[in-house]
Amino acid sequence: MNYDIAKIRSELSSNGVLRAAINMSNILLVTDKMSDGTPIGVSPDMAQELARNLNLKLELIPYSSPGEIADDADKNKW
């Protein structure tokens, strides 16, 4: 399959940064965090890989619950 990477990049980021919401309460997706609070696990790893493939910087936005993620979905926070 051929993908228009430039189009995907522009739809996911207007400023060169991919902002990814991370549900810190899901222990299957976030297994731990570093001393600086950076999440460790599948979700952060997937976000990092997507950012790398799109040649974007990554900003992880941690949330305490999926409800908080949903509440911010239309607020351009992630």
- As for how many domains the chain has, the answer is 1
Going residue by residue through the chain, which has 78 residues, state the pLDDT in tens, using 9 for 90 and above: 788 999 999 999 989 999 999 999 999 999 999 999 999 999 999 999 999 999 999 999 999 999 999 999 999 999
∠6-59-71 over CA atoms, to 5°? 100
Q: Which domain holds residue 12?
A: 5-71
Asked whether residue 76 is domain-assigned, the answer is no
Give the count of beta carbons closer than 10 Å to the beta carbon of residue 14. Answer: 9
Please report, for the domain that includes residue 44, its CATH number.
Answer: 3.40.190.10
Asked whether residue 61 is domain-assigned, the answer is yes
